[in-house]
Amino acid sequence: MIVILRKADRLTNLIFSPVGIPIEFHPAYDKENHWRFTKPTRNYEVAVYSYKGFKPEPTTYDYIGEGEGFKWQITKQFLDNFDCSKYEYVGFWDDDLICDIQSVNRALEIAKQHDIKLFQLSTIAGSDSTHTILHQRKELKYSLANVLEGMGPFVHSSLIPTLRKFWDYHEVKSGWGFDLTMPAFLKTHAGIIHEVSMYHPKKPSYYDKDAAFSEMYHIYNTVYPKFMKDTYNEDCEPWNEPHIEHEMTLKGF
């Protein structure tokens, strides 16, 4: 069941987050405008599913429900019960991500301006991000790459049916392998918005890393080729792509 706490006025984007911890802050971002605060300056709404009995702070969500499992399992539970077709972009964010409203607003503006269907904000120095292609480069407005990370992607609503179809082939748990193949199976480049950024704190893993590696290679070697054949009639080798920047746009353009 989803409870509507407050209905924002015709906002065209949405961020969904499974929430099990209090909101956190970082000095690089406006503490008075944490991305989850339900302020009228937003160009997006926030929906959360609480898990493990956690009660999110008041005024940090527009919609609330309850879920269980890993992030992407809870995300599937949310999408099974919530119509996202009225939104332009839907973000799927970890609950420990730190950012502010103005940064999220700007990222969504850039994505819409340049017709970027899949994207994430770049990560600032010190973030728990293993892929350097995602690290913020302040001279850039955005880049287009062939990978992103699952901690905070935005997906255009037109692509969500394909995203959900992928879950028919595999129940995503840790997200390893799923996030890196996302641009390939959604047939679009991944935008990395460098003009603004987010911070992902380093924390102990809440999942079994051996199981995560096993899931990743299963997606690469089995799930991805079968999905591409069934969906696009493409004969694909197991996914094993080097990280590539296809395009870089400087600030001011």
Burial class from Cβ neighbours inside 10 Å (0-12, 13-18, 19+) for residue 191 reads buried
Candidate from 80-89, 125-134, 218-227, 239-248 with smallest mean pLDDT: 125-134
Neighbour-count burial for 99-110, b at 16+ CB within 10 Å, e otherwise: bbbebbbbbbeb
SS3 at position 14: strand
Residue 250 pLDDT > 70, yes or no?
yes
Residue 10 pLDDT > 70, yes or no?
no
Residue 30 pLDDT > 90, yes or no?
yes
Pairing relation of β-strands 154-156 and 89-92?
antiparallel
Measured on CA atoms in the order 17, 160, 5, 39, is the torsion positive or negative? positive
Q: Could you write out the DSSP letters of every residue in 90-115?
A: EEE--TT-B-BHHHHHHHHHHHHHTT
> What CATH number should be reported for the domain holding residue 181?
3.90.550
Which residue segment(s) compose the domain that 43 sits in?
Answer: 3-250
Q: Give pTM, 2 decimals.
A: 0.94
Which residue type is seen at 142?
Y
Rounded to an integer, the average pLDDT of 152-167 is 98
37-72 pLDDT, tens per residue? Answer: 999 999 999 999 999 999 999 999 999 999 999 999
pLDDT score for 3: 54
Residue 98 pLDDT > 80, yes or no?
yes
Contacts of 169 (CB under 8 A, 6+ apart): 223, 226, 227
SS3 at position 41: coil
Residue 194 pLDDT > 70, yes or no?
yes
Rounded to an integer, the average pLDDT of 202-212 is 84
pLDDT score for 2: 57
pLDDT score for 246: 96
Residue 6 pLDDT > 90, yes or no?
no
Q: How many domains does the chain have?
A: 1
Q: How confident is the model at residue 157 (pLDDT cuts 50, 70, 90)?
A: very high
101-156 pLDDT, tens per residue? Answer: 999 999 999 999 999 999 999 999 999 877 899 999 999 999 999 999 999 999 99
Q: Could you tell me if 122 and 202 are in contact, meaning their C-beta atoms sit under 8 angstroms apart?
A: no
Q: How confident is the model at residue 203 (pLDDT cuts 50, 70, 90)?
A: confident
| Nearest C-alpha neighbor of 160 from the set 1, 16, 6 | 16
pLDDT score for 4: 53
Given the structure tokens 């899931």, which residue do they identify?
215
Rounded to an integer, the average pLDDT of 148-168 is 97
d(CA 185, CA 227) in angstroms, rounded, equals 8
Rounded to an integer, the average pLDDT of 164-189 is 96
Q: How confident is the model at residue 7 (pLDDT cuts 50, 70, 90)?
A: low
